């Protein structure tokens, strides 16, 4: 296991402040922290491929709370928890007493007595998801400090209104793998571009996660979108600051043509404009159903003006050597496949289909790495222990 030995050595050379902390936003973590996560994820993948059991828990719950639909993240979280030996228990708010006026701080403790990790998706309403996770985290801190919880479960953000770290870190893992290392990403041009979709209200967390993460690693990050489709200003400012610090760059452009020219990587994806998302949150707070209906109609009508924002073969030709890596968090709105007209042409998507599947396939290891680093102070020691124990994962 050469990869493993290498990963362990590299982890030892990095400063790691992940232990006992929630993983909520990549920009709260140091570059060393993020690199440690990538290294652990790589090591776990190598161990899995070598049929070595990565079990670290003989019992313990991994609680998941999905306040929005999920397939791949749900399965990624379940796979990650299971890989380490944890049992998934879903907190289904419909089946709980939360509706009975129970407070967040109370529920957080009630589900955590024998719990090691809580994965939360809360991405629908701007200004809510991240705050909710912080509130849960504070309640856990409080419960642990006051002798209620025998251990402090760590929270893993499975997508909030601001960031989608398990996605963006899997994206980074994919880029690292594709280009041959983190260092090779310096001054690679990556384009996070808005693209047309017949749907409404897609969260901002994926584009925000991408621009906020890739600017940490010296990439030349371009954000492209039609006027009025901006992201949360604080995150855009952050991307700018971080790019300067990492000796990369960050630019916003208003056309796909300009954006994709000589790009190494493209990420065309639909999202709802920041302004719309803000208005939606307000309407939801007031329970204004009619207002929400109007907003959706308005948003779809505005979207329809930008049908031309599709990633086509012609646009692909303008990228570096005509074959920029195409990325997507999936599911993509593929013209003629999942919708009449959408984010990407079928022929282009087909060419990169398995690449996007591989990109998604890193997520279980990324989440497992976040759990491992949050629960064990010395991940290098733990990984060595797993390897030297050498128990089979399957078979006799």
Q: Between residue 349 and residue 368, which ones bind a second copy under the rule CB under 8 A?
A: 354, 357-358, 360-361, 363-364
Among the listed ranges 9-17, 101-109, 123-131, 251-259, the one in contact with a second copy (CB under 8 A) is 101-109
Contact present, 343 and 334 (Cβ < 8 Å): yes
334 strand-pairing partners = 344
- The closest alpha carbon to 181, from 218, 224, 211, 131, belongs to 218
Sign of CA dihedral 230, 232, 237, 242: negative
* 253 sits near a second copy (criterion: CB under 8 A): no
Among 1, 5, 14, 110, binds a second copy (CB under 8 A): 110
- The closest alpha carbon to 73, from 123, 136, 31, belongs to 123
Among 6, 12, 21, 55, binds a second copy (CB under 8 A): 55
User: Min. distance of Cβ 348 from a second copy in angstroms?
Assistant: 16
Nearer to a second copy, 205 or 242 (CB): 205
Among 48, 178, 179, 200, binds a second copy (CB under 8 A): 48
Both tokens of residue 361?
């396939």
Rounded Cα distance, 23 and 133, in Å: 10
Among the listed ranges 180-188, 209-217, 237-245, 331-339, the one in contact with a second copy (CB under 8 A) is 331-339
User: Min. distance of Cβ 140 from a second copy in angstroms?
Assistant: 12
Nearer to a second copy, 322 or 395 (CB): 395
Residue list 255-294, contact with a second copy (CB under 8 A): none
* 91 sits near a second copy (criterion: CB under 8 A): yes
Contact present, 152 and 141 (Cβ < 8 Å): yes
Residue list 130-149, contact with a second copy (CB under 8 A): 143, 146-149
Among the listed ranges 32-40, 55-63, 268-276, 313-321, the one in contact with a second copy (CB under 8 A) is 55-63
Among 5, 31, 88, 292, binds a second copy (CB under 8 A): 88
User: Min. distance of Cβ 68 from a second copy in angstroms?
Assistant: 9
* 336 sits near a second copy (criterion: CB under 8 A): no
User: Min. distance of Cβ 309 from a second copy in angstroms?
Assistant: 19
User: Min. distance of Cβ 267 from a second copy in angstroms?
Assistant: 18
Residue list 186-215, contact with a second copy (CB under 8 A): 199
- The count of residues interacting with a second copy (CB under 8 A) is 81
* 111 sits near a second copy (criterion: CB under 8 A): yes
**Residue 101 half-sphere exposure toward CB, CA atoms < 13 A:** 0
Query: 286-319 as b/e, with b when 16 or more CB fall inside 10 Å?
Result: eeeeeebeebbeebeebbeebeebbbbeebbebb
Rounded Cα distance, 206 and 50, in Å: 32
Angle (nearest 5°) at CA 327 between 325 and 330: 155
* 99 sits near a second copy (criterion: CB under 8 A): yes
Longest dimension (CA), the chain: 62
Q: Which strands, in side-by-side order, build the sheet including 265-269?
A: 249-253, 220-224, 189-194, 265-269, 325-326
* 57 sits near a second copy (criterion: CB under 8 A): yes
For residue 391, what are the contacts with CB-CB under 8 A and spacing of at least 6?
52, 53, 55
Residue list 65-84, contact with a second copy (CB under 8 A): 66, 69-72, 74-76, 78-79, 82-84
């Amino acid at each position: 296991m050469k990869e493993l030995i290498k990963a362990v050595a590299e982890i030892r050379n990095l400063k790691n402040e992940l232990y006992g902390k929630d993983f909520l936003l990549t920009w709260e973590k140091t570059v060393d922290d993020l690199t440690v996560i990538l290294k652990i994820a790589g090591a776990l993948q190598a161990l899995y491929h070598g049929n070595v059991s990565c079990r670290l828990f003989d019992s313990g719950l991994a609680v998941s709370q999905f306040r929005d639909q999920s397939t791949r993240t749900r399965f990624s979280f379940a796979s990650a928890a299971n890989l380490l030996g944890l049992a998934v228990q879903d907190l289904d708010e419909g089946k709980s007493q939360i509706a009975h006026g129970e407070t967040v701080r109370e529920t957080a403790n009630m589900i955590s007595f024998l719990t090691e990790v809580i994965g939360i998706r809360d991405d629908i309403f701007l200004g809510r998801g991240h705050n909710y996770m912080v509130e849960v985290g504070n309640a856990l801190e409080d419960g642990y400090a006051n002798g209620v919880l025998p251990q402090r479960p760590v929270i893993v953000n499975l997508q909030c209104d601001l960031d989608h770290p398990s996605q963006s870190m899997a994206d980074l893992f994919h880029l690292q793998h594709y280009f041959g290392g983190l260092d090779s990403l310096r001054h690679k041009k990556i384009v996070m571009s808005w693209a047309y979709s017949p749907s409404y209200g897609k969260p901002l967390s994926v584009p925000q996660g991408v621009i906020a993460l890739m600017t940490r690693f010296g990439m030349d990050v371009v954000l492209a979108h039609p006027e009025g489709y901006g992201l949360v200003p604080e995150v855009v400012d952050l991307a700018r600051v971080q790019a300067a610090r990492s000796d990369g760059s960050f630019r916003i452009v208003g056309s796909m043509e300009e954006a994709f020219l000589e790009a190494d990587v493209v990420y065309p994806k639909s999202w709802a404009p920041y302004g719309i998302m803000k208005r939606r949150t307000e309407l939801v707070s007031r329970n204004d159903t009619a207002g929400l209906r109007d907003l959706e109609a308005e948003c779809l009508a505005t979207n329809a003006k930008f049908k031309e924002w599709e990633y086509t073969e012609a646009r692909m030709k303008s990228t570096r050597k005509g074959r920029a890596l195409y990325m997507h968090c999936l599911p993509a709105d593929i013209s003629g496949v999942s919708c009449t007209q959408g984010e990407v042409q079928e022929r282009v998507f087909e060419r990169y289909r398995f690449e996007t599947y591989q990109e998604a396939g890193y997520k279980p290891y990324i989440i497992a790495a976040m759990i491992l680093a949050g629960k064990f102070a010395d991940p290098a020691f733990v990984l060595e222990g797993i390897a030297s124990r050498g128990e089979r994962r399957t078979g006799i």
